[in-house]
A and B are shown apart, each in its own frame.
Chain A
Amino acid sequence: DADVTQTPRNRITKTGKRIMLECSQTKGHDRMYWYRQDPGLGLRLIYYSFDVKDINKGEISDGYSVSRQAQAKFSLSLESAIPNQTALYFCATSDLVAGGTDTQYFGPGTRLTVL
């Protein structure tokens, strides 16, 4: 079973629509992240959360919002989708273990197309 799941896996929507992407994890990690991947640009950070009460903007947060409903759930919303938000979206989790490396583990991704 996957430790980090994302729903939906694929979504097509229209300009102006509100859409929510969901992420759930069973790894017990405190930290969760949302990234966006565009062709030729690698992944870029949208938002991150270190616990339920801690939400922070990343590099490209404009046009997005997030909600950390529980330790295991972190949702990304596009309030009014626009075509340049067409991309592959990844959720990631991590847990800083004392003396260890804060390694991030990724979900399978959601491919979003905005028409």
Chain B
Amino acid sequence: LAKTTQPISMDSYEGQEVNITCSHNNIATNDYITWYQQFPSQGPRFIIQGYKTKVTNEVASLFIPADRKSSTLSLPRVSLSDTAVYYCLVGDLRDNYGQNFVFGPGTRLSVLP
């Protein structure tokens, strides 16, 4: 299983860029890296997904180095509403059939005014 490690918490101020790094040393060849955002009492919400190099959408960017042993979620110019827990998820293909996904412990991002 590809376990992940993230910082437990981070603080930032409005308007700053925030980078959250996730380590996944045992990532397998078929694994994708996915980031989710979760607000209190709500289900996680998909932010971005990638396999290698860089992926960008309207919400965030995801940087994945060549060895794929880590990834960095980049949130440009955060606002107070970005205060949430961010999860790094690495898909684990088991026996080319079943899939068992492991969420990291999550990073609690607090955006301050």
Indicate, yes or no, whether A interacts with B: no
- Which residues does A use to contact B, with CB under 8 Å? none
Residues of B within 8 A of A (CB): none
